[in-house]
């Protein structure tokens, strides 16, 4: 009888144990604690009511031994209160976290505020109607960029995964989006860092009493070169006249005159190759250890550009003719808004600047505490980004007005140079004609380098986080070697941009490898999250983290407005491909086909993985025809039932 009673006690205890594990959803009382390694530990207490007929037969709570695989438990005599305490811990490697909240904010701001805010926004602005361009820019920001910026921060913080592995929690069949994002990031690294190499060459050339782009007596100058100083009003300027800054940039730094075009790029410039090697060396030692090291570097690289911008703005505002540039900057040309390319440029600029769809925001947010207010972070950082673009416009256009005054030309004639030429020709020339030119040249090009470094840190960290989360057993303990290999691949991929015709390659990548490809990826991402994963489910995730639901504005943007805007931009781009030209070189028709191939090479990952997923899905096609396996409701239900929402398990 004693053995029978003892066996009955063990069976009852076992029943309570099973109940505590498999039915703890409606009975649990969770106390989630964020630990220093970034993981969430969940302590679950389950209490079984004692039977009233046996209420007086047992009291207290005895401490039992640890249950296998479940932590520790407490048991009591039969008929008493039984309490099961389960502590879930992860067997995975602890996830790295930001040392401080400001490390995260500065990293996001440094990523969002990049070279595009300084050189791309101003020239796109005056090309597309001046002040009138601010209307489509703000509309794209409010209804497209900021909602997607907020969405990516929330997704990364909740699921704590990179841009590849996060899709197993959201919508597995769209996992190809993550691979496409990584390929786009590599394309950007192939040409974006070359611009920093140009800036480094200028920086090294600035450490001399007389800047080399101020005179026409150098070996690279031609007969059309005409130099002037700021107080010389006797110099006449014609359309065939070239400035010393223009010839220094085109004939000495780029040496494009030694290339016939994309069909004949020429050899690699060893000076630029060394400059780019130095840039990638800085990048490697800034990100090789993770966000704890890069988070410290951005305290310098993200704040120094604002100091320089403020100094240049004050200096530019005091130059003669600065008001002409400001008027040109703010005077709207409303007819431009009827042109489709204006809206395409506005969307491309806001997405390229804020950076949704590049995987960086997912990666950065995944290192945040689970209950961090990512909503506030999204509003603050996106606002800083847009205001910086607007401020940079004043910095650039005050100098353009000054140059127009010195040349005795209209501002639009001075502002004919677009893209990086705006910085390396127009602004460099203006600096050369200022008092204390050497000082302003050094801080300006140092600012350009730091703006680019922030974005490179972020872009490569997005790829690194994605690959380490997708292949943790292979790469987690080999991060330094993986980062080294990634940096080497980026350097080798950038060699074509270091040739004499490398500027043509940079322009080709800029036009086709990033803009349309990333907008297509963002479209698929917002559709996958809003329509397949579900807006209500995503809002519940936000509520779990922040304690409040996103408002109707955000829901409408995610479900309808963002997809419509993005689809319109994609269709417009396909209907009217851009007429690409650089300097005096018009890109031949075959380069358009090449550009589309570059763009499709990243996007092809999405349908390719869908086919792979369907072919490897368990069961028949009839069993998955309702997208049950696509949206993975079983996994979500299991995560919700077991109280694992927001954890890394």
Q: Which residues are annotated as a binding site for Na(+)?
A: 110, 112-113, 117, 353, 385, 451, 454-455
d(CA 141, CA 386): 8
Give the H or E element holding residue 63. strand 62-63
| Rounded alpha-carbon distances, angstroms, from residue 353 to 110, 118, 119, 122, 387 | 11, 11, 12, 13, 12
C-beta neighbour count of 409 within 10 angstroms: 16
d(CA 535, CA 533): 7
d(CA 365, CA 157): 5
Residue entry with tokens 């009382």: 29
Cα 644–162–465 angle (5° rounding)?
125
At residue 569, φ and ψ (nearest 5 deg) are -65, -45
Known binding residues are 110, 112-113, 117, 353, 385, 451, 454-455
DSSP 8-state secondary structure symbol assigned to residue 130: B
Q: What is the DSSP string of 316-344?
A: HHTSTTHHHHHHHHH-B-GGGGGSHHHHH
Instruction: Say how many residues make up the chain.
Output: 649
Looking at the DSSP bridge assignments, the partners of residue 82 are 48
User: How many whole angstroms from its chain centre is CA 332?
Assistant: 31
Give the H or E element holding residue 522. helix 515-527
d(CA 96, CA 287): 13
d(CA 359, CA 175): 13
Tokens of 590: 């075959």
| Rounded alpha-carbon distances, angstroms, from residue 484 to 27, 281, 286, 472 | 50, 10, 12, 17
Secondary structure class of 74 (helix, strand, coil): strand
Encode burial over 387-401: b for 16+ CB neighbours within 10 A, e otherwise: ebbbbbbbbbbbbbb
Looking at the DSSP bridge assignments, the partners of residue 242 are 225
Looking at the DSSP bridge assignments, the partners of residue 627 are none
- The answer to whether 494 and 187 have CB atoms below 8 angstroms apart is no
Cα 244–248–251 angle (5° rounding)?
120
Tokens of 253: 């730094």
Secondary structure class of 22 (helix, strand, coil): helix
Query: 26-29, long-range: CB within 8 Å, 24+ apart, which pairs?
Result: 28/643
């Amino acid at each position: 009888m004693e053995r029978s009673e003892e066996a009955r006690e063990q069976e009852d205890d076992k029943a309570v144990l099973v109940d505590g594990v498999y039915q703890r959803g409606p009975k649990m009382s969770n106390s989630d604690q964020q630990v220093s390694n970034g993981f969430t530990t969940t302590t679950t207490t389950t209490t079984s009511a004692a039977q009233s007929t046996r209420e007086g037969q047992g009291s207290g709570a005895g401490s039992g031994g640890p249950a296998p695989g479940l932590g520790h438990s407490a048991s009591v005599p039969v008929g008493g209160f039984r309490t099961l305490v389960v502590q879930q811990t992860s067997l995975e490697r602890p996830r790295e976290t930001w040392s401080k909240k400001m490390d995260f904010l500065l990293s996001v701001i440094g990523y969002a505020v990049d070279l595009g805010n300084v050189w791309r926004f101003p020239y796109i602005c005056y090309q597309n109607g001046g002040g009138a361009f601010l209307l489509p820019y703000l509309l794209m920001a409010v209804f497209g960029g900021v909602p997607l910026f907020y969405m990516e921060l929330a997704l990364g913080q909740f699921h704590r995964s990179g841009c590849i592995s996060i899709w197993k929690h959201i919508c597995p069949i769209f996992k190809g989006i993550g691979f496409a994002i990584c390929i786009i990031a590599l394309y950007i690294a192939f040409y974006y860092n070359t611009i920093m190499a140009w800036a480094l060459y200028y920086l090294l050339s600035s450490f001399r009493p007389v800047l080399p782009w101020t005179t026409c007596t150098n070996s690279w100058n031609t007969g059309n070169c005409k130099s002037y100083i700021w107080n010389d009003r006797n110099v006449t300027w014609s359309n065939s006249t070239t400035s010393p800054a223009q010839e220094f940039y085109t004939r000495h730094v780029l040496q494009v005159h030694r290339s016939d075009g994309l069909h004949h790029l020429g050899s690699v410039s060893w000076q630029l190759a060394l400059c780019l090697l130095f840039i990638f060396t800085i990048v490697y030692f800034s990100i090789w250890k993770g966000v704890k090291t890069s988070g410290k570097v951005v305290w310098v690289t993200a704040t120094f550009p604002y100091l320089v911008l403020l100094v240049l703005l004050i200096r530019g505002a005091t130059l003669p003719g600065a008001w002409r540039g400001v008027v040109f900057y703010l005077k709207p040309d409303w007819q431009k808004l009827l042109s489709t390319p204006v809206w395409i440029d506005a969307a491309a600029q806001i997405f390229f600047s804020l950076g949704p769809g590049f995987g960086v925001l997912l990666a950065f947010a995944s290192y945040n505490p689970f209950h961090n207010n990512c909503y506030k972070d999204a509003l603050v950082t996106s606002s800083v980004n847009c205001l910086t673009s607007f401020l940079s416009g004043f910095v650039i256009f005050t100098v353009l007005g000054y140059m127009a005054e010195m040349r005795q030309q209209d501002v639009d004639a001075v502002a004919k140079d677009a893209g990086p030429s705006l910085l390396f020709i127009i602004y460099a020339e203006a600096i050369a004609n200022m008092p204390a030119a050497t000082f302003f040249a050094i801080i300006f090009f140092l600012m350009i380098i730091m703006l680019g470094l922030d974005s490179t840190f972020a872009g490569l960290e997005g790829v690194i986080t994605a690959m380490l989360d997708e292949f943790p057993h292979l790469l987690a303990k080999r991060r330094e070697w993986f980062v080294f290999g990634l940096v080497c691949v980026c350097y080798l991929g950038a060699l074509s941009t270091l040739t004499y015709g490398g500027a043509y390659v940079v322009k080709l990548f800029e036009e086709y490898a990033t803009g349309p490809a990333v907008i297509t990826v963002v479209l698929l991402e917002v559709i996958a999250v809003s329509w397949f994963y579900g807006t209500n489910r995503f809002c519940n995730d936000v509520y779990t983290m922040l304690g409040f639901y996103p408002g109707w504005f955000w829901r409408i943007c995610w479900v309808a407005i963002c997809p419509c805007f993005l689809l319109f931009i994609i269709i417009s781009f396909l209907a009217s491909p851009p007429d690409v030209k650089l300097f005096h070189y018009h890109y031949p028709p075959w380069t358009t086909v090449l550009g589309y191939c570059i763009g499709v090479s990243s996007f092809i990952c999405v349908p390719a993985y869908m086919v792979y997923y369907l072919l490897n899905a368990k069961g028949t096609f009839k069993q998955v025809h309702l997208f049950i396996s696509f949206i993975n409701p079983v996994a979500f239900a299991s995560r919700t039932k077991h109280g694992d929402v927001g954890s890394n398990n």
